[in-house]
Amino acid sequence: MLAEGHLRVAIAQFTAAIGDVHANLASMRALLAEAAARRADLMCFPELCLPGYLLDPAGYDAAFLAELGRAGEALQADACRLGVRIVYGTARRQAGFLYNVVLVTERDGGQTDYAKTHLVEAERAVFAAGHELVLAADGELGLGCCYDLAFPRFCAGLADAGASVLVFPMAWEQERAFVFERIVAARAIENVAYLVCANQNGAPGTLRFHGRSKIVDPMGNTIMEMGGQAGLAAAELDLHWVRRLRASLDRATYPLLADRLPDMPLRRGAGPVRTGAN
């Protein structure tokens, strides 16, 4: 439990069927039951795992959104019944705009939602961008979604606000997976935080998802990593260790949050850049 300083996190990796809420909910509930049997405190599913990675605006009609709402209610009941906090990706329409949402469902039925702020080009044709950072679980969890991971200031904002675990549901494709693989350790190190990345896998339609969901510790070490197959994996996170590192009680890393400076003004030097011989 977070209050005790230890958190057992389970990651579910699977191929979400595009537009098939019923099938995706069934997959999620089966994996959730397995996570509960393994005594997970928190279960993290991938981005847009409930609707599937659906990028057709017409697909998000009133009937489909109502179906997503009913499926969300079922997961809310499961969180209460099983005593597991659930993080998953879905879509919601609010104030006339459709958002790619990460939803946290608490064990007491409460919910926190985060609307993805950094959207790739194909997503911008469907979803509106969110505009705020969001913490959950009394501020211990910082919520992000897939492409958000690529932006240092986003992650820094969550860590500076107190989050010790940064949670990223993902639908990261194979084509540019090198970005994910090369930055995840950096984000953990520079924010002295755990990174939890739950990715979709497989090839729904023309898409090719990378899989390789993982948890990285504040030193940049991968403590759990999945391959390309669907399934579930779990790891124990020590939040006391994060606090000791940030307070320099454990001097294994630098006090990076304390030493981080605010944005500074830019000054340009005189003269053009010269290239080649004159």
Q: How far apart are CA 28 and CA 17, in angstroms?
A: 12
Q: 6-13 and 231-238 as β-strands: parallel, antiparallel, unpaired?
A: antiparallel
Q: Which H, E and C letters describe the chain, residue by residue?
A: CHHHCEEEEEEEECCCCCCCHHHHHHHHHHHHHHHHHCCCCEEECCCCCCCCCCCCHHHCCHHHHHHHHHHHHHHHHHHHHHCCEEEEEEEEEECCEEEEEEEEECCCCCEEEEECCCCCHHHHCCCECCCCCCEECCCCEEECCHHHHHCHHHHHHHHHCCCCEEEEEECCECCCHHHHHHHHHHHHHHHCCEEEEEECEECCCCCCEECCCEEECCCCCEEEECCCCCEEEEEEEEHHHHHHHHCCCCCCCCCHHHHCCCCCCCCCCCCCCCCCCC
| 276 has a pLDDT exceeding 80 | no
Pick the CATH number of 2-259 from 3.60.110.10, 3.40.605.10, 3.30.470.20, 3.40.50.2000: 3.60.110.10
What pLDDT does 196 receive?
A: 98
CA 217/CA 223 separation, integer angstroms: 7
The mean pLDDT of 126-147, rounded to a whole number, is 97
User: Given phi > 0 = left and psi -120 to 50 = alpha, else beta, which region is 157?
Assistant: alpha
Q: What is the pLDDT of residues 142-186, one digit of tens each?
A: 999 999 999 999 999 999 999 999 999 999 999 999 999 999 999
Average pLDDT over residues 234-257: 97
pLDDT at 274: 74
The pLDDT tens digits for 10-47 are 999 999 999 999 999 999 999 999 999 999 999 999 99
Q: How confident is the model at residue 271 (pLDDT cuts 50, 70, 90)?
A: confident
Read off the pLDDT of each residue in 129-148 and give the average, rounded to a whole number: 97
Higher pLDDT, 19 or 5: 19
Burial 225-264 (b: 16+ CB within 10 A, else e): ebeeeeebbbbebebebbebbbeeeeeeeeebbeeeeeee
**What digits encode the pLDDT tens for the residues 69-121?**
999 999 999 999 999 999 999 999 999 999 999 999 999 999 999 999 999 99
101 C-beta neighbours (distance < 10 Å), count:
26
Write down the domain spans for the chain: 2-259
**pLDDT at res. 272:** 77
Mean of pLDDT values over 226-241 = 97
Mean pLDDT of the chain: 96
| Cβ–Cβ < 8 Å for 236, 4 | no
